[in-house]
Amino acid sequence: MIHTIFFDLDNTIYSRHSGLWEAIGERINLYITDILHIHKDEVPAIRQYCHKYYGTSLQGLKSLYQIDEAEFLSFVHDVNLSKILSNNGKLSELLDSIPQRKMIFTNSDAAHANRVLNFFGVKSYFDLVIDVLSLQPYVKPHPKAFEKALSISGIASSDGCMFIDDMIENVLQGQKTGFLSILVGEPNENLLNIPDIYMLPDILKSLN
């Protein structure tokens, strides 16, 4: 029986087709060029290196360039949500239909997560926002990040916990940690997956 659901934020709570994640990506690129004064041609390689060896751009840039964490997070999330996202009320209806305890489990920071949740009017549905700052020094998909998420939630075991994310590597680690893990997005024959979170009630019904 599933008692708690851990939701990723970006490209999971909102549609991966919205363009928000791409807008944040452009802000990351701009930070690297304008704040760190690195030529734009070097940016893709730097971001790939950070993701491969550190999990996120933030973790990598902190290690490589000793950047100011708060400055970076504020800069890259400085986007106008109302110009990118739209709220049709369906997310609120979905979450209202799901009785399980709900958490946000994200590699973004709580300020960004709360802005998104408030935009959709759904913040009250989530007991906690477990963000990149509370997970330090780890980020998804590090195993310790999942252990910390459980600890922060006051849950002793992953038994009865569901994890939903759009990143394959995160979903795979969620499985290894014992979560019932679901990939949101493109079909994958090796993973339990749904095109978007609006299919989640069907998954929950199938478990009864």
Residue at 117: amino acid letter: L
Instruction: Give the total number of structural domains in the chain.
Output: 2
The pLDDT-based confidence of 186 (bands split at 50, 70, 90) is: confident
For residue range 11-20, list pLDDT tens digits in order.
999 999 999 9
pLDDT at 208 over 80: no
Give CA–CA dist 67/71, Å, rounded: 8
Residue 101 structural domain: 4-14+87-207
Q: Are residue 185 and residue 158 in the same domain, yes or no?
A: yes
Q: What is the CATH number of the domain that holds 56?
A: 1.10.150
Please check whether residue 184 is in contact with residue 197, taking contact to mean a CB–CB distance below 8 angstroms: yes
Confidence of residue 143 (pLDDT cuts 50, 70, 90): very high
- Looking at the structure, tell me whether residues 172 and 108 fall in a common domain: yes
Residue pLDDT, tens place only, 123-132: 999 999 999 9
Q: Which residue is it, tokens 């939630």?
A: 153
Decide if 46 is inside a domain. Answer: yes
- CATH code of residue 125: 3.40.50.1000
Does 134 lie in the same domain as 190? yes
* Mean pLDDT value across residues 54-73: 93
pTM: 0.94
Give the Å distances, CA to CA, from 29 to 26, 34, 42, 68, 155: 5, 9, 10, 16, 37
pLDDT tens figures, 26-57:
999 999 999 999 999 999 999 999 999 998 99
